[in-house]
Structure 1
Amino acid sequence: MSALPTRRLGTHGPEVSTIGLGFMSFRTGADAAEERQARDLVAAALDAGITLFDTADIYGPEFSELLLGRAIRGRRDEVTLATKFGFPLDRATNPHARPVDGRPEYARRAIDASLRRLGVDHVDLYYLHRVDPQVPIEDTVGALAELVAAGKVRHIGLSEPGPETLRRAHAVHPIAAVQNEWSLFSREIERETLAVARELGIGIVPYSPLGRGWLTGRVQTPDDVSVTHRAHPRFGAEAFERNRALAAEVAAVADELGVRPGQVALAWVLARGEDVVPIPGTRHVEYLRENIGAVGITLGDEQLRRLESLADRVAGERSIRPEQLGVEAPAPVAG
């Protein structure tokens, strides 16, 4: 296994490779062809020194966990394994399903199901995928703390929490990591949540650090957009040309440095702090190696200045619904 630099996820979290691997792209099936591609990708990632692998029960649903679990067999001790729960898996077919479920009883069922699919006896990092506005965060995190005590979970994380929710959660049990979208195109985390996370010693795991593909330089026409992201507002007809022009500004910086545009985007995220570990996703070994190449790239002051204004000019909203972004769940009733 090659060595990548490592970073610790905050004060309370595990030490992991500087860049992780997001596994959301493996969500269309779990047949032999998908399994081969997943195994090849994971083997290449591990051999290159990646240790943090991120999935969720809702990816597929279930397929991503199944494939990742099969791919790490025999190398489990090299992996920091992260998964997420909170979106009921039957919500697409069950009209009575909760849109988000943070109830303690659901957390207990969800972890057992994830462990079966992954084929492991514990996960290293277990996230609440979105905060449930109907359940006090203290109740959800209390249940997750019980899973830590039971040995099923090593560390707890939250995805897209509001700053006050994060404080309340951390008061119940140490939160190791916050997972938020963070890239040159999406910087909402910097408004409040980032400062709170750092005050509390919580690591930051940016998802979609490549702007859902925009920042790779490979999106030139709508046909270049991955199937997963074609419905995203930032690839819509009204937004496409504007965002392509912004992506070209990243590509211009990359040309100056003699690197790929996606490497510039990842280098920018990596430079946000030693507590930041992005998890770009891919299905391809070639792109995996390109992402790893971002480690060690240094952006100059003038290049940083040109990149800083991109997020303010992006067309199209994030796909996450406003009511799920930084939602503040109700506090428990005192007394």
Structure 2
Amino acid sequence: METRTLGKDLTVTAIGLGCMGFSHGYGKPTDVDEAVKTIRAAYDMGYRFFDTAEIYQGTNPDGSINYNEELVGKALHDVRDQVVIATKFGIAAHEGTGIKVDSSPKTIRKSVEGSLKRLNTDHIDLYYQHRIDPNVEPETVAKVMQELMDEGKITHWGISEANEDYLRRANAVCKVTAVQNRYSMMYREYEALFPVLEELNIGLVAFSPLANGLLTGQIKQSSFSDKDLRNKMPQFTPEALEKNKELLALLDKIAADHDATPAQISLAWMVNKKPYIVPIPGSRHLNRIEDNLKAAQIKMTPEEVAQIDKALDAVPMSEVFGGTKIEK
């Protein structure tokens, strides 16, 4: 499996597995045993980079909490030294249409202890601030990250949905290894951050690289289960699905040229664009998990990537979900 380096020295597979959907966001959680089995199967097929967070949780049929970190910990415990596990702190709760954030030093320390316990590990390989807390300075967060590194509880840290100013200030106190930002063919705003990432030698871990599944080309109508977050996402309205047909036709054409699927092309496009981009698509289905991993084998020239960018600039597409607002 192709690998790449985030930051100075964190080696990961070129494509990682986003584990959120087993517990959170896409309807009822996957059965615990089935989820553990699937995550372990992903390891067996070649994945070595797994992403979770303390806030990813759902409710099992018996009323118990389905903690995503526990699933990851159970699946990978006996191969712990062969994988990179990323988790996150800083989202305290979901509140209505927004989220409540808390990155105070006291909360960070409580969070890291909880994550270590749920993951059944003595260290976290990549610890992200899940969202920026407007009430806590980046220097304060970075200072705590350095302390956790000195204590051996984490080895690298990153920031999710980072902007340039926050990233520079945090990085000046404690070296940032990666940002985890929303990035896909439909959401390219963070390309403006590429020069900063290159200057500071910081990797980009791309979440929602398939626009929450739209870029697979498999979603023809919005008929999701209850409590599926996609019910409220703008790219899945009937009008949006109609508007995005030309985009999906473009993907189908490129996929045919490479004997690949639209999802694989969506991932290969970003993997071939920059050597420091690592997408982390999520799925509950082993066939899709395997297909996603194979996207790293698809080679595109810089000229082809540029041609795709140009086509994306011209093709009509709907609005796409850009994140949940932070409650002040």
Tell me if TM exceeds 0.5.
Answer: yes
Taking the aligned partners of 1:188 and 1:206, their CA distance within structure 2 comes to: 12
1:28/1:171 Cα in 2 relative to 1: closer, same or farther (>3 Å)? closer
Cα distance change on mapping 1:308 and 1:230 into 2, 3 Å:
farther
2:319 to 310, 316, 321: 316
Could you say which residue in structure 1 is the equivalent of 2:77?
Answer: 73
Shift in alpha-carbon separation, 1:303–1:180, aligned structure 2, 3 A: closer
Residue aligning to 1:177: 178
1:281 aligns with 2:278: no
Which residue does 1:23 correspond to in 2?
A: 19
The answer as to 2:144 corresponding to 1:147 is no
Between the aligned partners of 2:247 and 2:33, the Cα distance in structure 1 is 36
Query: Which amino acid in the other structure matches residue 239 of structure 1?
Result: A
Q: What SS is found at the alignment partner of 1:83?
A: strand
SS at match of 1:259: coil
Offset, 1:46: 1.5
After superposition, the CA RMSD in angstroms is: 2.5
Q: Corresponding residue for 2:45?
A: 48
Answer whether contact 1:46 1:78 (CA < 8 A) is retained: no
The answer (yes or no) to whether the contact 1:66–1:118 under 8 Å persists in 2 is yes
**Residue of 81, 86, 89 corresponding to 1:85:** 89
CA-CA distance at 1:163 after TM superposition: 0.4
> Residue 100 of structure 1 contacts residue 131 of structure 1 at CA under 8 Å; is this kept in 2?
yes
Aligned residue in 1 for 2:233:
232
Task: Provide the rounded CA distance (Å) in 2 between the counterparts of 1:32 and 1:189.
Answer: 31
Greater shift in the superposed pair: 291-300 or 19-28: 291-300
Classify 1:60/1:234 alpha carbon distance in 2 versus 1 (closer, same or farther; 3 Å): same
Paired with 2:117 and 2:250, the residues of 1 have a C-alpha distance of 45
Change (3 A) 1:190 1:67: same
Tell me the distance in 2 between the aligned counterparts of 1:131 and 1:172. Answer: 16
Distance (Å, rounded) in 1 between the aligned partners of 2:283 and 2:310: 25
Does the C-alpha gap of structure 1 residues 229 and 22 become closer, same or farther in structure 2, counting only changes over 3 Å?
same
Distance (Å, rounded) in 2 between the aligned partners of 1:271 and 1:43:
27
Provide structure 2 residue ranges, at least 5 long, that are not aligned to the other structure: 59-65
**Contact 2:99–2:325 (CA under 8 A) maintained in structure 1:** no
Which residue does the alignment assign to 2:108? 107
Match runs of 1:235-250 below 5 Å: 235-250=236-251
Distance in 2 between residues matched to 1:6 and 1:306, nearest whole Å:
24
Question: CA 1:166/1:246 → structure 2, altered by over 3 Å: closer, same or farther?
Answer: same
Q: Select between 137-146 and 39-48 the one with higher mean Cα deviation.
A: 39-48
Contact 2:21 2:29 in 1 (8 A): no
Question: How far off is 1:33 after superposition?
Answer: 6.2
Counterparts in 2 of 1:253-272, with a 5 A limit? 253-272=254-273
> How do residues 185-204 of structure 1 correspond to structure 2 at under 5 angstroms?
185-191=186-192, 193-204=193-204
Q: Could you tell me which residue of structure 2 aligns to residue 39 of structure 1?
A: 36
* Aligned residue type for 2:238: A
1:305 is aligned to 307
Shift in CA distance, 198/28, structure 1 to aligned 2, threshold 3 Å:
closer
* Residues 1:158 and 1:148: Cα distance change in structure 2 (over 3 Å): same
8 Å Cα contact 1:220-1:244 kept in structure 2: no
Name the structure 2 match of 1:331.
none
**CA deviation vs aligned residue, 1:212-232 (integer Å, no higher than 9, x gap):** 111111111112799342211
1:320, 1:282 → 2: CA distance? 19
Residue 35 of structure 1 contacts residue 71 of structure 1 at CA under 8 Å; is this kept in 2?
A: no
Rounded to whole Å, the distance in 2 between the matches of 1:230 and 1:267 is: 27
Distance across 2 between alignment mates of 1:303 and 1:92: 40
Could you give the per-residue CA deviations for residues 123-149 of structure 1, whole angstroms, max 9, x where no partner exists? 100000111111111111111111111
Provide the rounded CA distance (Å) in 1 between the counterparts of 2:304 and 2:173.
Answer: 43
Does 2:165 correspond to 1:164? yes
Gaps of 5+ in 1: 325-335
Q: Is the 8 A contact 2:90 2:102 kept in 1?
A: yes
Q: Write the deviation string for residues 247-291 of structure 1: whole angstroms up to 9, x where unpaired.
A: 222112112322111111111010121111111111111101101
Contact 2:224/2:230 (<8 A) preserved: no
Give the Cα separation in 1 of the matches to 2:304 and 2:24: 42
Q: CA deviation at 1:302?
A: 5.5
Tell me by how many angstroms 1:115 deviates. 1.1
TM-score (norm: length of structure 1): 0.86
Higher strand proportion: 2
